[in-house]
Amino acid sequence: MAHIHLEDGSFSIFWVIVWWAAAVILVGISLYLLRSGEKTDSRKITIAAFCTAAAFAIFQIEIPVAGGVHLTITPLVGILTGPAAGCLVVFVVNIMAAAVGHGGWSMIGANTLVNISEVLVAFCLFSVLGKITKSPFARAAAATFGALVCGTIVMVGIIIISGVQGVTQSSATILAGLSLVVAINLAVAALEAIITGFVVTFLQKVRPDILGGKQGNSGR
């Protein structure tokens, strides 16, 4: 998954504030949309709570490959909860992750933006692909991979724009150094896309109501 694993002090205070402010604005918009919309279904709240707990737990499981990688379910969060609730879920997950030392507190804003991009892209792609294919596996897998590619691009962009304090390398050199991280992320994204595809296919069979309605017609 795309996640900025940098310690506090890696970004200047200016960029920490910028990314935090952008994240808070998006979270605020999400809260407004949830509060101003129709009365929230208790089932959706339960799903969002479950996704928060599951995302945090999975986030902490490290796969001992290429120095250690981990999966995420941010695309699945977007598919199951929608963009507004999904934004809140990833914000809470990043706070909880920082609390246990998984990334610095100053990185919460930037990492929330990365994960929000994954939630939004996954939700949109899953919805659009419903008009192209009725296969829940194909829709979920493609939406997940696309979302994680987007998250990786956002992550790299934030690092390039912010720069890393104490590093005198040029943006081009930093980008070249991040190429390995990008390659690993894409490989993990492909794996997660397959897993998410199977999860959504299973949910379609046992609880189609969870996928129905807000994402259009669900295929079997």
In the chain, the domains with their CATH numbers are 13-211 (1.10.1760.20)
pLDDT at position 171, please?
66
**Residue from 94, 96, 131 nearest 116 by CA:** 94
Q: How far apart are CA 207 and CA 213, in angstroms?
A: 13
pLDDT at position 219, please?
41
pLDDT at position 181, please?
77
Predicted structure pTM score: 0.86
pLDDT at position 9, please?
85
CB 19, CB 109: distance < 8 Å: yes
In Å, how far from its chain's centre is CA 137?
A: 19
Total residue length of the chain: 220
Locate 143 and state its tokens.
Answer: 């939406």
**Per-residue pLDDT in tens (0 to 9) along the chain, 220 residues:** 577 877 888 899 999 999 999 999 999 999 998 888 666 667 788 889 999 999 888 887 776 655 556 788 899 999 999 999 999 999 999 999 888 877 789 999 999 999 999 999 999 999 999 899 989 999 999 999 999 999 999 998 998 888 888 776 666 777 777 787 788 888 889 999 999 999 999 999 998 888 864 444 434 3
What is residue 106's DSSP assignment? G
